[in-house]
Structures are given as C-alpha cells and as structure tokens.
A = this chain, B = another copy of it.
Amino acid sequence: MGEFTLSCPVPITQSPTILMAHGSGGTMMHRLLETMFLPAFQNDELLAQHDGASFNINGARLAFTTDSFVVRPLFFPGGDIGSLAVNGTVNDLAMCGARPLYLSAGFILEEGLPMDSLERVVASMRAAAETAGVHIVTGDTKVVDKGKGDGLYINTSGIGVVEHDLTIAPQSVRPGDSVILSGDIGRHGMAVMAVREGLEFESQIESDCAPLASPVLALLDAGIAVRCLRDLTRGGLATTLVEIARSARLHIHIHEDAIPVLEDVRGACEILGLDPMYVANEGRFIAFVPPEDRDRALDILGASAAHIGDVTEANDSLVTLKSTIGATRIVDMLSGEQLPRIC
C-alpha cells in the first residue's frame, strides 16, 4: 500500500501567477506584501506597515502615502474615480494623523477614452481637492494601447505634515482601549457593485466616499489621545480589525449590533450573499482611543459614530464578534476576493 495524505480543502494562498485575489486587501495580498515587497524594500519607515510612511526632513515631520485607483465603473452613485483618487490619499494621510497638504496625480489613459470622461474626472478631482483643502501640485500622463487598460487608472501620492507628538500606530493600542467606528459601513462597495451588476434597489445606494482629515484633526486638536487610526477600504471593517489585532498582539472584541449598516446596504448584501463586515468603504475609519476619551471622541465625531467594541488583555491577536443573536465567533481576514476593482 502506497503512502497517502489527507487534506482539507483550503483557499489557494500560493500561486505562480498574479490572481485577482492578490488585490483584494485580504490574506493573499498580505502574503504578497510580506514575502515580496517588505523583504525587498526593507527600511524603518516601511516596516511600520501603516497606511503611509512618516519621517523628518530638516525638522519637519512629514507623512507620505501612495494609492492607485482602478475602480470599475469609473462613475458610480456618490462619486467617481477622480473623487476616490483624491479622497483615498487624503484619507491615508489622515490615518497617519497628518494634515494633508500636497497631492500628485499620475494618469494612465487607455487609447480611445472619451475626452469627456477625462474632463469629468479631472473636474471631480478638482472639486474633491478643494473640499479637502489640498493642492494637486505635480502630475504625469501616460497612454496605453486600446485593450491594455480599462479607460483610466489614477495614482495619487500625498504629503502631509504631522503637528502632534502621538505615535498613531497599532503598536500604541492598549488593553481597555475603545474602538470607535466613524459611521455606517458597506456603502461604497455596494454602490459600485450595484452599478456593475445592474442591480436596482428601492433607493439608490450612494458611496460613502469622503475626505476624513477634518474629523481626524478635530480629534487630535481636542487632545484626544488617539492610539491608532485606520480607514476601512479593501477588505472592509473585519480585515482592518484583524490587521490591527495582529500588529498590536492584542484581542479586539466587538458587538455586531453596535455596527451601523444602512437597511438598503444590509438588504443588498443579503441578496448577494456578502457580509457587510468585509465590504469596502471609502469614507469610514476606526479610531482606537483610551476609555476615558471615548465619550468626548464620540461627541466630536457626531451622531453617525459608534462605540463598537474594546481591546482586551488577551494577547492572542484575535478579533471576536458577539453576533446579534448572542453567539461569539472569531473574525478572520477576507480570504480570496469578495469584490474586485472596488477602488
């Protein structure tokens, strides 16, 4: 009798080629980062594994971030690739606790893109930059052959200035900290999905795409001892919580019934078999704050914000969720892909 092995079916996590799931924000993207990019580009600033890098130049403390946008379709209810590209980078800077100042814009245009579409996107970027108070100061344009793009891809990179002395990072999270969510989740992902799949709901779901620098700076200006900030993009709330629990080597316990989800979003998710916890957002963030600062932070963030959970003593790097029916389960990162090309 020959040898044999038994194995359970597990999601693919290694592949000789790039798969869509490598862009999901979930397990495979993390593996790609950890096995390829981090070892190659090893340096102190990168190893912080934050939404951006932070460093000092001639006494100025700066934050620096980059993000490419490949959302399909280019236009969706509540935004378009232009507003997304500006707000995405503004928000990454905000999550470093920085005041966003300057943005670059790199365009990869597909041959045949209607000039009208480009004009609409550029106008939308201009409006978003004005709203967020940033200047787009440098740019680049490349054109690729028809069939080698998808209309338009945009990269934005941003520079912000850090005007406080806090270390806003997973490593600063402490047992007992409160987890505050800035608003309802799942709207961006479902808005894009609805357009892409031609779904119609009673009322149109609009993306939550919005700049987050003002609420974050309001927290900092009020002296809230913010431990960690993270915006909830690819992979959604669940993946973000798991990332932070792992980096901080702590346990986060959250309450499902404290997490705001619009009725339409919940309905759309149910129809499509998606969990709102994993759906992308573009204008929502979580803040970890000391319990004594919690109520003040909630006041500053307004009625849409919610205290959704707490950090506990356990150093098991896990996230648990108490569901609406009272059961407790472990929350994992997004595995594979739920919804590609969402940002």
Contacts and interface: CB of A to CB of B under 8 A. Distances in A.
Interface in A11-66: 15-24, 29, 32-33, 36-37, 40-41, 43, 45-46, 52-53, 55, 57-62, 64-66
Contact of A140 (B67, B119, B136, B340): B67
A69 B69 CA distance: 15
B138 A45 contact: yes
Contacts of A135: 41, 43, 45-46
A159 interface: yes
A110 to B, nearest CB: 7
A61 B22 CA distance: 38
A67 B143 CA distance: 12
A29 B140 CA distance: 10
Contact of A104 (B16, B65, B140, B150): B65
A107 interface: yes
Nearest to A110: B18
Interface string A135-159: 1111111111101111001010101
User: A interface, how many residues as a size bin?
Assistant: 35 or more
A153 B148 CA distance: 10
Interface string A105-133: 11111111111101100110110010000
B137 A46 contact: yes
Contacts of A108: 68, 70, 108, 153
A341 interface: yes
Contacts of A32: 141
A52 B43 CA distance: 25
A321 interface: no
13 contacts: A18-B113, A18-B114, A22-B143, A23-B109, A36-B118, A40-B123, A45-B137, A57-B159, A58-B61, A64-B102, A67-B106, A106-B157, A142-B341
Interface of A: 15-24, 29, 32-33, 36-37, 40-41, 43, 45-46, 52-53, 55, 57-62, 64-70, 101-102, 104-116, 118-119, 122-123, 125-126, 129, 135-145, 147-150, 153, 155, 157, 159, 161, 340-341, 343
